Amino acid sequence: MPRVAGIDIPEGKKIYFALQYIHGIGPKFAADILAEAQVNPDLRSSEVDEQQVARINAIIDGGYLVEGALRRQVSQNIQRLKDIRSYRGERHRKGLPARGQRTRTNARTRKGRRKTVAGKKGVKG
Q: Where are the domains of the chain?
A: 3-63, 68-111
The rounded Cα 106 to chain-centroid distance in angstroms is: 22
Amino acid at 3: R
Say how far apart CA 64 and CA 21 lie, in whole Å: 14
Say how far apart CA 77 and CA 70 lie, in whole Å: 11
Say how far apart CA 20 and CA 30 lie, in whole Å: 6
17's CB contacts (< 8 A; 6+ apart) are 30
Specify the CATH architecture of the domain 3-63.
Answer: Orthogonal Bundle (1.10)
pLDDT in tens, 33-58: 999 999 999 999 888 888 998 999 99
Average pLDDT of the chain, as a whole number: 89
Helix (H, G, I), strand (E, B) or coil at 8: strand
11's CB contacts (< 8 A; 6+ apart) are 1, 2, 18, 44, 45, 46
pLDDT band at residue 125, thresholds of 50, 70 and 90? low
Q: What predicted TM-score, i.e. pTM, was given to this entire model?
A: 0.76
- Give the per-residue pLDDT at 45: 86
Contact 4, 58 (CB under 8 A): no
Spell out the CATH class of 68-111.
Answer: few secondary structures
- Give the per-residue pLDDT at 6: 72
Say how far apart CA 15 and CA 94 lie, in whole Å: 40
